[in-house]
Each structure stands twice: as structure tokens, then as C-alpha cells.
Amino acid sequence: MTAAQIIDGKAFAAGLRERIKTAVPAFVEQANRAPGLAVVLVGDDPASQVYVVSKHKATIAAGMESFEHRLPADTSQADIMALVEQLNADESVDGILVQLPLPDGLDEKAVVMAIDPDKDVDGLHVINAGRLANGEEALTPCTPLGSLMLLKDTLGDLTGLNAVVVGRSILVGKPMAQLLLSENCTVTMAHSRTRDLPEVVRRADIVVAAVGRAEMVKGDWLKDGAVVIDVGINRLAPEPGKQKGRLVGDVATAEALDHVRAITPVPGGVGPMTIAVLLRNTLVAASLRAGYAKPKGL
């Protein structure tokens, strides 16, 4: 068997961002304004702050408007809901993203459900989930859509392939299964409580691991020639003399390399796709809201 391909999500994401940047001027010429993304950050979670800064920089670099709303951790539910309603009504805003998790005591689901589905660039609203399940145009969660892009770039046509999605979250697992169904895959949704999970995974031509357990999927679980998308990102306990443990995915990569045709690394695989697809979703949302065709190639 030939050496496994390491799927370069960072390079693919850079190319996608460049295509988005190239497509934005056509929207600006038609609409006489740039697409706008509003990000709401409540509290001072360090990881969320870093992520919001990255989103802001990427949005500006793509030629879009970036609107940041930073609220203190003690902000009330009513104040957050009022801000979402304000952004829903703002015609300069095409995408609304509320950075999760919210501080304790706030109802995340109520906040997400308050977002206009046509501006829901995280794809978490039940209306977008329903549209996706129904095969209609939908704003789709960024990580599964980015994962599908990497799969199609690696394999081309996915028709008829057996796919196993390990994990059933509304953010990754469930929309990932719907996307694979839309590509004519035969899809099995598995999870940590699936009976004989290794045997289920062994049948798959495509494995998407999104269960949130470090290196849970072992190399001998994988069919020879399978393509693996590792969505997990877990930090191990630090080794003696080191302050931080290394980052690993949900797949034991070193073992998997002896079996698979291709696999995403952690880090550098699916992760870089998330912000790139967020920008894609914002441009698509802006185009559809304005009554324009969805930009080609995105």
C-alpha cells in the first residue's frame, strides 16, 4: 500500500479564502456595499477572544465588513436577545455569529433560535437544520461543510461510498451525515455507545471522527484505503518538563497511517477550514438575501 496522503487543510482553506476575496467585488458592485459579518462575544473566555480576533482579521482581509460586539460576562439574557434582534434588522449585517459557549446562566439555545435563519452563518438554527435535511439551500455549520470540501477534493465523486460519522452533535455529526447523504453516500451515524464500534468503522470508505475523545479511533479500526477526516482536537496531559500537552485528534494518527489512503492531521487539517467556511457562508448569505445567485465555486 502506498504512503498515506496527509490532507492539507491549511492550504485548501487559503485557496478558499482567496476565491472568496476574488468573488466579493462582484457583490460590492451589485449591492453598493460589502457583505457584513457581526460577531457577538459575551465574557472574557481566552480561547473565544483569540478566535474572535482571528475572525475579524479574516473578514477584513476578504474585503467584508466586520462588526464586533463585546459584552461583559454579567450581561443579561434580555440584553443579548435585544442585540440579536437589532442585528436581525440591520441591513448592513448579512451574517450573525454568537460565540459559544456563553457564560453560565445564559440560555444558548434561545439566543441561537433568535437569530434570523437567513443570517445564521453558524448553521445552528432549526430552520437551517430542517432545510439541510430536506435537501434545500441552507446555511450549514462550518466544520462539517469544510470537511465535505476536503473529502471531495481528495476523492472527487463520493457516490456509493460507505461513510461512518462517529459523533452525533448538532454542530458536526448530524449535519455531516446529512451532507454525506446529499452526496449519495451510504451513511452510518455511530457514537461512543454504538455496539462493536470498531467493526462498524471497519466497513467505511470514509470515516469522520467527531466524538471528542483523544485518539479513540485506533488504526486497526480502519479499512485499508479509507479516507479519514479527524474533527477532534484534544490536549493531552503535559509530558514531564513541558508546560502544555500536545494536541491530538480523535484518531490515533500514527497507527492510522499504516491503513488509510488519506487523513487530516491535527492541527492543520479541519481546523483552518472553519473560518474560511464562515467567510463563505457570509458571502452566500449576503448574495441570497439580496436576491443574487450564489457565487460559483463556493
Quick one: 106 and 219 in the same domain? Answer: no
Active-site choice (116, 120, 122, 250): 122
Indicate if the pLDDT at residue 239 is higher than 90: no
The whole-number average pLDDT for the span 65-84 is 96
Residues of the domain holding 90 = 31-117
Question: The domain spanning residue 38 has which CATH number?
Answer: 3.40.50.10860
Q: Which residue has the cell 448569505?
A: 285
Reduce the DSSP state of residue 77 to 3 states and report it. helix
Q: Are 278 and 13 in contact, with CB atoms under 8 Å apart?
A: no
Residue 126 falls within a domain, yes or no? no
The answer on 161 and 241 residing in a single domain is yes
User: Angle at Cα 175 formed by Cα 171 and Cα 181, nearest 5°?
Assistant: 165
Looking at the fold, whether 101 and 169 belong to one and the same domain comes out as no
pLDDT of residue 3: 85
- Packing angle of the helix pair 173-182, 142-155 (nearest 10 deg): 40
Question: Which whole-number Å values give the CA distances from 6 to 3, 35, 56, 223, 270, in the listed order?
Answer: 9, 34, 29, 17, 12
Mean pLDDT in residue range 195-210: 97
* Range with the poorest average pLDDT among 10-24, 136-150, 242-256: 242-256
Percentage of the residues of the chain whose pLDDT score is greater than 70:
100
Give residue 108's pLDDT band: very low, low, confident or very high (50, 70, 90).
very high
Residue 29 pLDDT > 70, yes or no? yes
Does position 237 have pLDDT exceeding 90, yes or no?
A: no
Contact 34, 28 (CB under 8 A): yes
Q: Looking at the predicted structure, is the pLDDT value of residue 153 above 90?
A: yes
Asked whether residue 68 falls in the same domain as residue 164, the answer is no
23 assigned to some structural domain = no
Catalytic one of 94, 99, 120, 250: 99
Q: What would the mean pLDDT of 59-88 be, rounded to a whole number?
A: 97
Q: How many CA atoms are closer than 13 Å to the CA of 215, on its beta-carbon side?
A: 12
Residue 134 confidence (pLDDT) above 70 = yes
Known catalytic residue at 122? yes
Instruction: Name the grid cell of 254.
Output: 500514527
Q: Count helices and strands (H / E) in the chain.
A: 10, 11
Which amino acid, residue 163?
Answer: A
Residue where a domain stops, chosen among 65, 84, 117 = 117
**H helix intervals, the chain:** 9-31, 46-61, 77-89, 108-114, 126-133, 142-155, 173-182, 197-202, 253-256, 271-289
- Is 157 a domain residue? yes
pLDDT at residue 13 is higher than 90: yes
Q: Are residues 179 and 232 in the same domain?
A: yes
- The answer to whether residues 164 and 202 belong to one domain is yes
Would residue 99 show up in a list of annotated catalytic residues for this protein?
yes
Return mean pLDDT, the chain.
95
Q: Say which residues have a Cβ less than 8 Å from residue 142's Cβ, sequence separation at least 6.
A: 121, 122, 123, 273, 274, 275, 277, 278, 281
Residue 90 is among the residues annotated as catalytic for this protein: no
pLDDT digits (tens, 9 = 90+) for 135-150: 999 999 999 999 999 9
In degrees to the nearest 10, what's the CA dihedral of 7, 13, 14, 16?
Answer: 120
Task: Return the residue matching grid coordinates 483552518.
Answer: 272
Q: What is the average pLDDT across 48-59?
A: 91
Residue 257 DSSP label = T
Residue 24 has pLDDT above 70, yes or no: yes
Residue 268 lies in a domain: yes
In a domain, 3, yes or no: no
In a shared domain, residues 99 and 219: no
Cβ neighbours of residue 9 under 8 Å, at least 6 residues apart?
146, 150, 264, 265, 268, 269, 270, 271, 272, 273
**pLDDT tens string 78-93:** 999 999 999 999 999 9
pLDDT tier at 1 (50, 70, 90 boundaries)? low
Q: Is residue 5 part of a domain?
A: no
Residue 152 falls within a domain, yes or no?
yes
Same domain, 188 and 249: yes
Distance CA(101)–CA(47), nearest Å, equals 10
Q: In this model, does residue 240 exceed pLDDT 90?
A: no
CATH of the domain at 209: 3.40.50.720
Residue of 55, 119, 174, 223 marked active site: 55
Return the pLDDT at 251: 97
Q: Decide if 20 is inside a domain.
A: no
Of 117, 151, 175, the position where a domain reaches its end is: 117
Residue 264 and residue 150 in one domain: yes
Average of per-residue pLDDT across 163-189: 97
The Cα 279–Cα 295 span in angstroms is: 12
Asked if residue 104 and residue 41 are part of one domain, the reply reads: yes
CA distance 45 to 68: 15
Q: Are residues 59 and 151 in the same domain?
A: no
* 185 shares a domain with 112: no
Q: Please give the tally of structural domains in the chain.
A: 2
